[in-house]
Chains A and B, each alone.
Chain A
Amino acid sequence: MATTALEHELKEMIIETLELEDVTPDDIDPEEPLFVDGLGLDSIDALELGLALQKRYGITLESEAESSRQHFANLRSLAALVESRRQK
């Protein structure tokens, strides 16, 4: 499945924000998990990513909510979150 412009933007944001020095946008499969398996991000990355979403798109997430876990499942779900809740 092709990557949308927003997904590509999010890939670049993830790489830059999380300082993934050995990762390129092509390495991030939109359907693969972002955390643990797949890209291998950890809980500090989740906090960092939440901060980046707040700064760039004005999206505030509830840290304990189960919905946050679903939003962060993979790049595609993250893009859907940004699409539906972006303030800027």
Chain B
Amino acid sequence: MADLYLHDWRGWTPHRVADGELRLDTRDKPAGTAVPSMLRRRLNLIGRAVCDMLSDLDPDADSVVLHASRHGDGERTLEMLYGLNEGEPLSPARFGLSVHNAIAGVYSIASGNRRSQQAIAASGGEWAALIAETRGYLADTHSSVVVVFSDQPVPRRFAAYAPESHSAAVALRIGHGPTPDARRLSETSVTMKTPTLQPLDIIDWLMDKRADVACPISHRGWQLANVRP
């Protein structure tokens, strides 16, 4: 399978120390300045972080954007369902922002990006799905795409049914050719049983705190290597 190249990345999580890594934002509340305040007010913390990261990685607003999240905005969605069950009227704004492609949609409106925006949920196979989709777009004339992987803790009353997770988002520009500071992203087959990949795992991997990442569902693993010695 052809290697991919990681051109650049950005991350957000309050659950890690940046340790001088400027590409990682560790503030509790991301600024969200890439989006005008009248749009920003409707975004949750993940949404603010993702829009800021996309603005950095897609400054010309001309990239295909793939956004994967296992649970999306579970808090907002489930609270609406409980409200409906009790006969409460739905908040139109909250309903509009509860859909899985809401963040990509807000980014598209704010930036004017009219390329494909794709939202993915894959039952724990989000990272593998992002890479598979990336290969598809790269094979279809695009020289690079921007992928985003984000998640937040599952609402408390459902927490027992999902692995523990922390709020984190990571965005990567991936292409099929190297750039001066790119790192080679190679993919291999793995058989070892590993925990489900979460955005925080990808951030640790990008910061060289782990050597590789693997998806137990797709049986695929990924490694990063510097292109230049």
Chain A residues near B (Cβ < 8 Å): 18-22, 40, 42, 44-45, 47-48, 51, 54-55
Residues of B within 8 A of A19 (CB): 41-42, 93
Asked if B141 is at the interface of the complex by the 8 Å CB criterion, the answer is: no
Which of B25-42 touch A at CB < 8 Å?
37-38, 40-42
- Bound Cα distance from A7 to B40, whole angstroms: 26
A44 with B93, Cβ < 8 A, contacts A18-B41, A20-B41, A21-B37 known: yes
B37, B41, B42, B92 — which one has the most chain A CB atoms within 10 A of its CB?
B92
- Bound Cα distance from A55 to B92, whole angstroms: 14
Residues of B within 8 A of A18 (CB): 41, 93
Contact B92 A21 (CB under 8 A): no
Other contacts beyond A18-B41, A19-B41, A44-B96: 19, CB < 8 A: A19-B42, A19-B93, A20-B38, A20-B41, A21-B37, A22-B37, A40-B38, A42-B38, A44-B93, A45-B93, A47-B92, A47-B93, A48-B91, A48-B92, A48-B93, A51-B89, A51-B91, A51-B92, A55-B89
Residues of B within 8 A of A21 (CB): 37, 40-41
B33 to chain A, nearest CB (A): 12
- Bound Cα distance from A86 to B158, whole angstroms: 40
Chain B residues near A (Cβ < 8 Å): 37-38, 40-42, 89, 91-93, 96
- Bound Cα distance from A51 to B88, whole angstroms: 11
A54 to chain B, nearest CB (A): 7
B41 to chain A, nearest CB (A): 4
**Residue in B closest to A50 when the chains form the complex, CB atoms:** B92
B31 to chain A, nearest CB (A): 12
Contact B37 A44 (CB under 8 A): no
A-B contact pairs, 9 of them (CB 8 A): A19-B41, A21-B37, A21-B41, A40-B38, A44-B92, A45-B93, A48-B92, A54-B89, A55-B89
- Sort A-B residue pairs by CB-CB distance and give the 9 closest, nearest first: A47-B92, A19-B41, A22-B37, A48-B93, A44-B93, A44-B92, A21-B41, A40-B38, A48-B92
**Residue in B closest to A39 when the chains form the complex, CB atoms:** B38
B103 to chain A, nearest CB (A): 16
A48 to chain B, nearest CB (A): 5
Residues of A within 8 A of B92 (CB): 44, 47-48, 51
- Bound Cα distance from A15 to B164, whole angstroms: 35
B38, B41, B42, B91 — which one has the most chain A CB atoms within 10 A of its CB?
B38
B40, B42, B89, B93 — which one has the most chain A CB atoms within 10 A of its CB?
B93
Residues of B within 8 A of A51 (CB): 89, 91-92
Residues of A within 8 A of B89 (CB): 51, 54-55
- Bound Cα distance from A18 to B96, whole angstroms: 13
**Residue in A closest to B96 when the chains form the complex, CB atoms:** A44
B83 to chain A, nearest CB (A): 12
Residues of A within 8 A of B37 (CB): 21-22
Residues of A within 8 A of B40 (CB): 21
